[in-house]
Amino acid sequence: MSVKERQLNVRLTPATDQWLEQAAHGKSHKADYVRALIEEDMRRQQEAEELAMFSQAARDLTPEDGQERDRLLNAYSNRDDTT
């Protein structure tokens, strides 16, 4: 099954179109280049949202949470502590 793709028509200034064609390494690759730019921006946005979420979670940790984490890591450690 294929995913239906949406088409987007964009007007560009001649200078922007020339830059895009050069960046895409040819006129026939412009759509793929723009698609890659959009997908990369979406990935960056998702990463920023995840970082904000994890940063907030880290700020919400209490000293007791840290002690519990250390206790669990030590209890289930795969390290050989006899050396």
**Domain map (residue ranges) of the chain:** 14-75
State the average pLDDT over residues 78-83.
Answer: 59
The predicted pLDDT at position 58 comes to 86
Tell me which of 59 and 25 has the higher pLDDT. Answer: 25
How does DSSP classify residue 76?
Answer: T
Element (H, E) at 19: helix 14-23
The predicted pLDDT at position 41 comes to 98
Task: Report the distance separating Cα 81 and Cα 50, nearest Å.
Answer: 35
Reported as a single tens digit per residue, the pLDDT across 45-80 is 999 999 999 999 888 888 898 899 888 888 876 766
The predicted pLDDT at position 82 comes to 55
Tell me which of 26 and 70 has the higher pLDDT. Answer: 26
**Secondary-structure breakdown of the chain: helix, strand, coil percentages, each rounded to the nearest 5:** 65, 0, 35
